[in-house]
Amino acid sequence: MTLALSDAELDRYARHLMLREIGGPGQQRLRAARALVVGAGGLGSPALAYLAAAGVGTLGIVDDDTVALSNLQRQILHATDRVGMLKTDSARLALAAINPHVRVIAHPLRLTTQNGAALIADYDIVLDGSDSFDTRAAVNAACAAARKPLVWAAIGQWEGQLSVFDPASGGPCMACLFPQAPARGLAPSCAEAGVLGALAGVMGDAGGGGGQAHHRRGRGAGGAPAALRCAVGRVPHHRRAAPRGLRGVRRPLRAFA
């Protein structure tokens, strides 16, 4: 039996409840949802913050790294006084401050082909904002095998990519788009190539929104038909400004947050 929303929850989620497409039933589905976020860095930070604020009931965080001062330009869950702390612990503190109704489960390790299946088993959906192709490949393999939807994002310099992979609904998986690791130098890390801090927020927020939509409707993200949806955008800057919007073109994998 689904428990009714408490008075505190009714007040907290009032703006959701006013939306016909969410309302009380949708908010209760969000509260019952379990989302796993791989990487509590530039992409994972805003995704986790908005998932918690939205009332997704259980959030798992996979990350084996510690907070560094250079992270703080874009990894908004962390703070100066938490430099050196495990990112999973830092993120748990931040999320508890955002929404005490959300349960946060920390997994202070790196997801691999050996532990991927066990890590995702208890979750409904996975969001990947990890920092290496090997991790991304392991996340994708685990999600495809378990028939669980994967919301995936990557950023580098001025560009970002966002996709929803849901093979269980007839769509492709990440390996269909990127069957091999990028050539050396093609997808440099943010430490090597740099990244606009706000870009992590834009792409991470979009990924978090995809996770919310999936649970609200009980279908693929946004209730759209099961198919590969690849969003590739570029932030205008002083040298060039490319068109914005969704483009379903196959482009090289970008860098990682």
Q: Specify the residue for token string 């994998």.
A: 253
Indicate whether 244 belongs to any domain.
no
**Tokens found for residue 124:** 């409904």
CA distances from 190 to 17, 73, 225, 232 (A): 39, 12, 33, 18
Per-residue model confidence (pLDDT) at position 243:
35
Residues 125-168: tens digit of each pLDDT: 999 999 889 999 999 999 999 999 999 999 988 989 899 999 89
Q: What residues make up the domain containing 193?
A: 23-234
Mean residue pLDDT across the chain: 84
Quick count: other Cβ atoms within 10 Å of Cβ 8? 10
Which pLDDT belongs to residue 241?
36
Is 2 within a domain?
no
Residues 236-245, mean pLDDT to the nearest whole number: 38
Inform me whether the pLDDT recorded for 28 exceeds 80.
Answer: yes
Q: In the chain, how many domains are there?
A: 1
pLDDT score recorded for residue 231: 37
pLDDT score of 223 = 37
Confidence at residue 93, expressed as pLDDT on a 0 to 100 scale: 98
Is 39 part of a structural domain of the chain? yes
Q: How confident is the model at residue 190 (pLDDT cuts 50, 70, 90)?
A: confident
pLDDT confidence tier of residue 245, bands split at 50, 70 and 90: very low
Nearest one of 39, 54, 51, 68 to 128, comparing CA atoms: 39
CATH number of domain containing 172: 3.40.50.720
- Domain assignment of residue 5, yes or no: no
Whether 250 maps to a domain, the answer reads no
Distance CA 107, CA 191 (A): 24
* Segment (H or E) for 16: helix 14-17
Does some domain include residue 15?
no
Distances in Å between the alpha carbon of 34 and those of 17, 79, 214?
A: 20, 26, 11
